[in-house]
Structure 1
Amino acid sequence: MQLSRAEFDARYAAGTLRIAFVGMSNIGKSYTVMRLATKYDFNLIEVDKLIWENLGHDSMDAFAEWQGHPYTDGYSEREAHSISLETAATRKALSTDQRNPMVDTTGSVIYTDEDVLEMLRRDYYVVYIEAMADHIERLKVQYFKQPKPLVWAGHYEKLEGKTETESILECYPKLLKSRADMYAKLADITLPSTMILNPKVKIDAIYEALKPAV
């Protein structure tokens, strides 16, 4: 949803500013929206939480363990089920009538049904947190250190002479590249991960950076 800077401010004041964050898991989306919702007049909606609660899990770790890695038995079926759940949860989140909703989407929102993506493009000001080169290695480490359910969408393959873990680390950048292009097409504005993950950058500066240039 294209907005001018004046329209952004006016909608925020009126309580009708609808913002959605997109980007890879562990790139700082949840951290940033939590900071924004704490400081500013936003109602935070976490799609991941809606999904794992619907599955009957009580944490993100349990959700990640259920989905598993792309080389585990039954992964493709769980991946398809996860996307179906994500589509329903994102549709519900985007349909909210709360004041200034701020939707923290999952990293795999780009694989949801087209009507959900159209809702994002039409009704929401979409902010993409881009994983910069300095943080690619961090994402690979975090995938194992702090597991989150990850949709591979066919980008994983067992490589000759590599273990399953080594294959994941080799394939991960290809998944990031594919997703980056899809996130960018959805976004109204892009913020670099170097800003989002820099502890010296105040939340007020991030809020101002969200706004259109003119």
Structure 2
Amino acid sequence: MSVEPLVLVGMSGVGKSFWARRLAEQRGYVRHDCDGEIGARLSSIVTPSPGEEPVHALGRWMGMPWSEGYAAREARYLALEETVTREALDACRDGRRHVIDTTGSVIYLPDALLDRLRSVGRVVYLRTPEARREAMLRRYLEEPKPVVWGDAFACATGEAPREALPRCYASLLAWRERRYAALAHVVIDGAELEANDPGVDGFLARISA
């Protein structure tokens, strides 16, 4: 019988990869790095600059929501994400312990796949506190990561794209927060985890409660 995999969801930078790596290194979980796998499959067209993290190269390739060709790149990214997520779920049938380190855009995947994630695994939402959202916007502008906007970006009359970005970004995060929470079995404050590190055993105890 397969062991219930852990599925970590939440916004970029909240700690999903940090905890997935610790589970792999300290407790032998098989980690599925969805961001990394998508980047690897796009490596033929996305080459990091010297010293640049692959995820930032991917963000540079994706561009801003008003960039020419953005919609096509967004669709290509989501198609790859769907494939990578399905493959991760399929791999969880081998009876070992798995942790799926999802991207921030997992909630844009088809409902049937999200239902499968929730029925097969234990979905843990690492919540980003509202106080951190301005810092997230600054970080996104300084070192863009791939962001799927869907229908969340639109300029008001007379509004330049750069002027619309903070307003639309705030709406995007609020919408995502609701979607993550609806998908999750367990919600944990990511900032509290960071401030009071419970260790791997404490983390597992919290998500099993």
TM-score by length of 1: 0.84
Identity %: 31
* Deviation of 1:116 (Å): 1.5
2:58 aligns with one of 45, 60, 63: 63
User: Is contact 2:14-2:191 (8 Å) kept?
Assistant: no
User: Is contact 1:135-1:193 (8 Å) kept?
Assistant: no
User: Is contact 2:5-2:97 (8 Å) kept?
Assistant: yes
1:153-201 Cα distance to aligned partner (Å, 9 max, x none): 1111224565433321121111011111111111010001222332x42
1:155 aligns with one of 141, 152, 168: 152
What amino acid is the match of 1:40? R
1:187 pairs with 2:184: yes
TM-score by length of 2: 0.86
C-alpha change, 1:161 and 1:35, in structure 2 (3 Å) is: farther
**Counterpart secondary structure, 2:12:** coil
Runs of at least 5 residues in structure 1 that lack an aligned partner in the other structure: 1-13
What amino acid is the match of 1:91? R
**Counterpart secondary structure, 2:187:** strand
Please report the RMSD computed on the Cα atoms of aligned residues, expressed in angstroms.
Answer: 1.9
**Counterpart secondary structure, 1:95:** helix
Mapped to 2, the partners of 1:151 and 1:173 lie a distance apart of 14
* Deviation of 1:15 (Å): 7.2
Runs of at least 5 residues in structure 2 that lack an aligned partner in the other structure: 48-53
Match of 1:85 in 2: 80
Match of 1:73 in 2: 68
What amino acid is the match of 1:167? A
Count of aligned positions = 198
User: Is contact 2:4-2:120 (8 Å) kept?
Assistant: no
